[in-house]
Amino acid sequence: MIDRKFWARLLLFSFLFWVCIFNSPANADDGDRYADIIFSDGNSRDLVGTAVMRGKDIWVPAQVLRSIGVPLRNGPNGKGFLIDVKEPSKVFGINELERLAGPVIALYFPSMADSEGTSYLNVKGLEQFTGISAKEINAGLELKKNNFKIPFNNNYKKPDQDFFKNKRIALAWAHITRDNPDLETEDRIDALDVISPTWFNLTDGSGGMANRASASYVEAVRKKGYRIWPLVSNGFSKENTSRFFNDTAAVNLFIARLLCYSKLYGFDGINIDFENLDVADRDKYVRFVSLLSGYLKGQGLVSSVDVHVPGNSNLSRSHDRAALSKHVDYIMLMAYDEHWRTSPRAGSVASMPWVERAVQKTIEEGVPPAKLILGVPFYMRKWEETPLSHGKVKVKGSTLTMSESDSIISQMGLSPVWLSDKGQYFYSYLSNGKTYKVWVENRDSIKAKLSILDKYRLAGVAGWRKGHETPDIWDVIRSAAGKR
């Protein structure tokens, strides 16, 4: 029975709860809910703080977790938290972890901070490590200490690697830098097979890995019937990546962490996106992908790697597309940014001739078409041209989503012109003495690009990035990918 002391605390925290409502954290979302935390250790029940409920995520103050015995360490530079997992090979049921990481592995988890400096950890899905289960009850949020079984057990099933056999894949990258969106509130996209959220990246030359994953996001992916192949990048740091490739212990630790997260959250695959590499590290990158993909395959995970289009730039030369394709299930050809945002000249992001040449050259280099997935842009550039002296022009580019472009066309009363040689529409207009130009990406330009799928018998299509497209794009993808 809950005693008078408990009820007194309940009244106090209820008062504080309403204070929080009217003085909500600076980074709180409109949909956030707040709940009093009741901790039960089997002998007593105490009110210990206030949790933030964001969608299905459960954010609990770090000081509350530490006070009930959760061994949280502050993450690098005071960001996020580290949890040391002892005997990871036993916890995750992956024997290779002992050799890769040793007897203890530190795993990073993101934090959330309010305007008063209170840090929170999302405990959803972390019961195995915290030893704490969380359950919403009428009075708030109940935390309980539990003894979880070892090895790791979350009804985990190895992914079915044969699911896409003889099928075209439709993937969308989800760009996530901090908070994960509430996927459950979104309509299911019938033509979409795989979501690749940008969750992991190398943070230093020693195998440090940032993690923005969410167990509730994965649950929503499952409910929608999608597969999930999170993206892991090198943070696009040339220096960190070079040091990383030259440190065997760092590489092993990085791979071990990725295997742990894959098992923890229940992924179907991993998408590798290492860019801005030193050309001198080209072969080292292949060796790294070879090593990583072998471990991924051992866990039944699909492996894919993003590559630049063939060309003379250092970016392109740093990717040995043919060699990489020998070690992974799929090669994602990033056939966009024909003209970069900082380009000195305005132009298309992905004109049809440029895209087709990129596919042709990639195949000629030795990438099997059956492994090649065509990356297409769900965005375009708006180019601002400002006249300078002596006939020169200052060019500035900014990113436009498809709906933003449609709004400009409507508001300005424009009539875009179809450029048959580019496979896309074009429009321009004058404003405040400046000229604005847009090579449009929409259902017609995407349809033109996707004609390449049949022509070269490619494995599928991937779009950068989810949310930048208009809904009609998925009808085009459904038709081009042969989906019903």
pLDDT tens-digit profile of 273-326? 999 999 999 999 999 999 999 999 999 999 999 999 999 999 999 999 999 999
> CA–CA separation, 447 vs 450, rounded Å?
5
Residue with tokens 């866990």: 299
**161: three-class secondary structure by DSSP:** coil
Q: Give residue 158's pLDDT.
A: 59
Q: Give residue 236's pLDDT.
A: 97
Is the confidence at residue 378, as pLDDT, over 60?
A: yes
Domain ranges, ordered by start, for the chain? 4-145, 169-480
Is the confidence at residue 9, as pLDDT, over 70?
A: no
> CA–CA separation, 274 vs 253, rounded Å?
17
Query: Which whole number is the average pLDDT over 214-233?
Result: 97
Span 180-193, pLDDT tens digits:
999 999 999 999 99
Is the confidence at residue 29, as pLDDT, over 90?
A: no
The answer to whether 328 touches 292, Cβ cutoff 8 Å, is no
Cα–Cα distances (Å) from 402 to 159, 439, 464, 468, 481, in that order, read 34, 11, 12, 6, 21
Is the confidence at residue 4, as pLDDT, over 70?
A: no
150-164, 285-299, 428-442: which range is least confident on average? 150-164
> CA–CA separation, 15 vs 182, rounded Å?
29
Compare 6 and 82 and report the one with higher pLDDT: 82
pLDDT classification of 26: cutoffs 50, 70, 90: very low
97 phi-psi bin (left φ>0, alpha ψ -120 to 50, beta other): alpha
Is the confidence at residue 344, as pLDDT, over 60?
A: yes
Sheet holding 132-137, edge to edge: 111-113, 119-122, 57-61, 45-54, 33-40, 140-145, 132-137
Strands (E) in 45-124, as ranges, are 45-54, 57-61, 72-74, 81-86, 104-109, 111-113, 119-122
313 phi-psi bin (left φ>0, alpha ψ -120 to 50, beta other): beta
Q: Give residue 127's pLDDT.
A: 92
The angle at the Cα of 108, spanning 107 to 112, to the nearest 5 degrees, equals: 150
The angle at the Cα of 196, spanning 370 to 367, to the nearest 5 degrees, equals: 25
Span 92-142, pLDDT tens digits:
999 999 999 999 999 999 999 998 999 999 999 999 889 999 999 987 999
Q: Give residue 157's pLDDT.
A: 58
Q: Give residue 23's pLDDT.
A: 34
Q: Give residue 156's pLDDT.
A: 52
1-15, 54-68, 442-456: which range is least confident on average? 1-15
Is the confidence at residue 58, as pLDDT, over 50?
A: yes
156-165, 349-358, 419-428: which range is least confident on average? 156-165
Query: Which whole number is the average pLDDT over 46-69?
Result: 95
What's the whole-number average pLDDT of the chain? 92
Is the confidence at residue 1, as pLDDT, over 90?
A: no
pLDDT classification of 13: cutoffs 50, 70, 90: very low
Q: Say yes or no: domain 169-480 is CATH 3.20.20.80.
A: yes
pLDDT classification of 38: cutoffs 50, 70, 90: very high
Q: Give residue 27's pLDDT.
A: 56
Beta carbons within 8 Å of 229's beta carbon, 6+ residues apart: 171, 194, 195, 196, 267, 268, 269, 270, 271, 302, 304
Cα–Cα distances (Å) from 201 to 209, 235, 274, in that order, read 5, 5, 9
54: tokens are 């964001």
Exposed, middle or buried, 290 (CB in 10 Å: 0-12/13-18/19+)? middle
Query: Which whole number is the average pLDDT over 27-55?
Result: 88
Q: Give residue 189's pLDDT.
A: 98
Which residues pair with residue 272 across a beta bridge? 232, 305
407: tokens are 């709004």
Model-level pTM?
0.92
Is the confidence at residue 149, as pLDDT, over 80?
A: no
Percent of the chain residues topping a pLDDT of 90: 85
Is the confidence at residue 7, as pLDDT, over 70?
A: no
Is the confidence at residue 387, as pLDDT, over 90?
A: yes
Q: Give residue 28's pLDDT.
A: 53
Q: Give residue 18's pLDDT.
A: 34
Is the confidence at residue 14, as pLDDT, over 50?
A: no
Kind of pairing between the strands at 227-228 and 194-202: parallel
